[in-house]
Amino acid sequence: MNPGEQEWIEVEFETLNLNDKRLDARAHKIVGDFSARPTGSIPEFSENWAATKAAYNFFSNESVSGAAILAAQRQATLGRMKEYHLVLGLHDTTEVNLTHFPETEGTGPLGSGKSQGFLTHSTFVVTPDGLPLGLLAQEHWVRREETRGQSEQRRERPIEEKENYKWLKALTESSVDLPPETQLLMVSDRESDVVEYFLHPRPQQVDLLIRATQNRVVEGSEWLLWQTVRQAPVSGCVTIEVEAKNQQPARCADCQVRYQQVTVRPPKNRPAHLPKLKAVTLWAILLEEGDPPAGVAPLRWSLLTTMPVPSFDEACRLIEFYTLRWIIERFHFVLKSGCRIEERRLNSVAANQRFLALANLVAWRLLFLTYLGRLAPALPCTMALQDCEWKALFCFIHKSQLLPASPPSLQQAIRWIAQLGGFLNRNSDAHPGVKVLWRGWQRLSDLVQTWLIFNPAPP
């Protein structure tokens, strides 16, 4: 582990308690080694047989609690949240596919095919500008095979026995011990559009924002929900950047915005033996593209929120918050492609979940540095890098032993790290992505090791 990797790990693991100081120390060591080479195999990032064996023993040790590791991460995240009046809790589910390791114990079905693995639901906190603050909650579970009869009876079950309960559970777990001065807005996609989610108890400082999928009955209206909102006047227009998808190029969509307070009724065909649900009053925001390019489906977002929407500006603010939801998908992408959580040959689902608990830290750190360089480019790079890191980086990039009088900016250092990972760093290039950054961090780790050999710290 490099000295430059030690400080941030100490912050993240300040409250870590695995009931054995040796396990605490091993967790520190693994994260330090892993963060230097996130795409490497366990033997690659451990570097020697003793550390490799200790890492495998750690992941297979039943006394190692993934929940305890998550609790430490949560405390570090809560500490960063105190600095903000409002933060966004982005939450979503991803599959961890272990089909290619059939010997792994405890896997279950994924999707409709023969894939095997487990599922993970994460709540990832970002600022209103999109700066990642860390993980707030995470749940794992394994699906069990259902017979046709059981599948048909799913509608008869209470929400607590359905997979959709993950949204309510994430809301509960994310709302515990929040900083009193911080408001949390939970942001989620269409799968979370269940009435029970809006009715679930939550602290006053917690609100919800979802992209709706159901067109529900509205009290006092002859139309369903989105036909009702469409009767409201257009409050203004907003431009949304649409990423390239399905061979369609990236574009900017000019959209009309409508908003209205509505009271939606619960489903009528709810089984009689289940508790009756109340109507719920929400604010609805409808965003529709008026003139899309030929052959392209118009952009349309139907958003529901518990936050008041008294003006067009507030509607635009919530639309902007929803555009940040994709950061949770980037977090899962880094876990899978950067930290390679689906490519670890471990003996059980439980061992893979322990590995994931540590990988969460590394994935957050990579995203944090990526976005910090974009949002605060003028900060000195010492905000994120230790002396040995930025000095080794500077000397390698400039092929010189002469150091500048002061450290370079954070943005410049991040671009140099990305350059180590294949980023061209031309003046016309946009911000580097997280993929070239994790490649660059791996090379930087080797550079720092060499730097420390020739520039040892004074005793």
Residues recorded for the chain = 459
What is residue 294's three-state secondary structure?
coil
Reading the chain (459 residues) residue by residue, the pLDDT tens digits are 443 446 899 999 999 999 999 999 999 999 999 998 898 999 999 989 999 999 999 999 999 999 999 999 999 999 999 999 999 999 999 999 999 999 999 999 998 678 999 999 999 999 999 999 999 999 999 998 764 445 556 777 888 889 999 999 999 999 999 999 999 999 999 999 999 999 999 999 999 999 999 999 999 999 999 999 999 999 999 999 888 787 788 889 999 999 999 999 988 877 777 788 899 999 999 999 988 888 888 999 999 999 999 999 999 999 999 999 999 999 999 999 999 999 999 999 999 999 999 999 999 999 999 999 899 899 999 888 889 999 999 999 999 989 999 999 999 999 999 999 998 888 777 888 888 888 888 888 889 888 888 888 776
DSSP conformation class of 382: G
DSSP conformation class of 240: E
- Beta carbons of 338 and 434 less than 8 angstroms apart: yes
CA 264 distance to own-chain centroid: 30
Q: Cα–Cα distance between 50 and 382 in angstroms, integer?
A: 33
- Beta carbons of 124 and 90 less than 8 angstroms apart: yes
Q: What are phi and psi of 253, to 5 degrees?
A: -105, 125
Provide the β-strand partners of residue 261.
283
Q: Cα–Cα distance between 80 and 179 in angstroms, integer?
A: 10
Domains and CATH numbers, the chain: 88-154+184-327 (3.90.350.10), 376-454 (1.10.740.10)
Q: Cα–Cα distance between 361 and 9 in angstroms, integer?
A: 9
Beta strands at 86-97 and 183-188: parallel, antiparallel or unpaired: parallel
Residue 329: C-alpha distances to residues 121, 124, 150, 232, 394 (Å): 11, 10, 31, 33, 32
Q: Residue 279 CB: number of other CB atoms within 10 A? A: 15
Q: Cα–Cα distance between 430 and 355 in angstroms, integer?
A: 33
Q: How far apart are the first and last CA of the chain?
A: 18
Q: Cα–Cα distance between 21 and 16 in angstroms, integer?
A: 10
Beta strands at 183-188 and 206-211: parallel, antiparallel or unpaired: parallel
Provide the β-strand partners of residue 186.
89, 208
- Beta carbons of 5 and 37 less than 8 angstroms apart: no
